[in-house]
Amino acid sequence: METIDTGRPQRRTKALVKAAVLAVFVIAAILAVRFTPVKNYLTVEALGHFLDSAGLWAPLVFITIYAVGVCLFLPGTLLTGLGAAIFGAYWGFVYVWFGAMAGASAAFLIGRTLGREFAASLIGDRLKKYDAAIERNGFATVLYLRLVYFPFTPMNFGMGLTRVHFRDYFSGTALGIIVGTFIFTFFIGTLKDVWTTGNWGELISARVFFSIALFVFSFFIPKIIKKIKKAADPSSPVNPS
């Protein structure tokens, strides 16, 4: 006698409700940044004054702000630039990296909790093999996408909708964002030091030229990675072509 799965409609309804909550969260986050005074505080001067008032807790406060900002779809480059300008090239890199990792992890877990069930219900037989491939090659996939500068926040939420394991996502992100984060914070931090000291002669120093060279090189990283990946394994699922 054939049994009827009475729980399936309930599971689908639950998945739809979660997906709706995720959609509302994303829309509300974007609108909150665009149409509220939040953006007025996202300047070096305003955020710097706020962090000064936090005293020894300033790094932790910044990391928290960065993590929340990532979940609210604030541009990662903006948050990274603020961190470098406020804390300098080296400590800016450390705090930005921790903030980015916290934000990326939180966004992933939000996407996984609220959207994975619904996304899985939409995946047909044709797409299941890609979902399974991402699960098998999670670390490599995440690392590759981070190195080619795939949009940071959309990827955080998007990866939560796939079958990739959190440990692969975390480790791939942790390693993949190091290069880009260091290059950008070093460049901004170096220019900030020159600006604050007023020693414009430093503009022709080796450090400034090195930071500019790193910054320019960063734009070629995606093409280099794609060529290496294509040459190594043209059939790889992480190859966009």
Only one residue has tokens 């309804």, namely: 13
Residue 224 above 60 pLDDT? Answer: yes
Q: At what angle do helices 221-232 and 138-147 cross, to 10 degrees?
A: 140
Which of helix, strand or coil describes residue 199? coil
CB 190, CB 211: distance < 8 Å? yes
Q: pLDDT tens digits for 25-67?
A: 888 888 877 777 777 778 888 888 889 999 899 999 999 999 9
Which range has the top average pLDDT, 38-42, 73-77, 124-128, 212-216? 73-77
The candidate with the shortest Cα–Cα distance to 89, out of 196, 162, 164, is 196
- Half-sphere exposure for 31 (CA within 13 Å, toward CB): 6
Give Cα separations from 156 to 10, 121, 160, 187 (angstroms).
Answer: 28, 20, 7, 25
Which has more confidence, 12 or 140?
Answer: 140
Q: Rounded CA gap, 213 and 183, in Å? A: 9
Which has more confidence, 85 or 205?
Answer: 85
Maximum Cα–Cα distance across the chain? 86
Q: pLDDT tens digits for 142-184?
A: 988 898 888 888 899 989 888 899 999 999 999 989 888 988 8
pLDDT of residue 241: 41
pLDDT of residue 233: 60
Residue 1 above 60 pLDDT? Answer: no
The candidate with the shortest Cα–Cα distance to 186, out of 207, 204, 202, 205, is 207
Least confident of 78-82, 139-143, 214-218: 214-218
Which of helix, strand or coil describes residue 235? coil
**What would the two tokens of residue 69 be?**
């900002």
The candidate with the shortest Cα–Cα distance to 109, out of 10, 22, 181, is 22
Residue by residue, DSSP assigns 10-61 as HHHHHHHHHHHHHHHHHHHHHHHHHHSGGGGG-SHHHHHHHHHHHGGGHHHH
